[in-house]
Amino acid sequence: GAYTIVTCPNGEQTINTTGNPGLAKGGSGDCLAGIILAQIMQKGSLKSSLANACYIHGLAADLAIEDHHSTTDLLATDLINFLPDAFRKCLN
């Protein structure tokens, strides 16, 4: 599949394996930008903030698909609704 590769200015890379084709829709990138900003404001490193944001974003999409959405009907609002579940899954 198509994975997200996060590349930092120093050349370090992280490969994110979460997510699905349903993310290729309008508004998905806006959600990702908000998650990235929230992670950066937690004062973590840039690399971990970007990697964590991409992971959570993709995981929310994956959880939405598991909950009977399809990659065709997945909307940005669905991502937002599944963010709490994605964060909970990471904490457990």
How many structural domains is the chain composed of?
Answer: 1
Per residue in 59-92, pLDDT tens?
A: 999 999 998 888 889 999 999 999 999 999 999 8
Cα–Cα nearest to 53, from 69, 24, 26, 29:
29
Cα–Cα nearest to 57, from 30, 77, 42, 79:
79
**pLDDT of residue 39 exceeding 80:** yes
Q: What is the pLDDT of residue 85?
A: 96
pTM: 0.90
Give the chain's radius of gyration (CA, Å). 13
Range of the domain at 24: 4-91
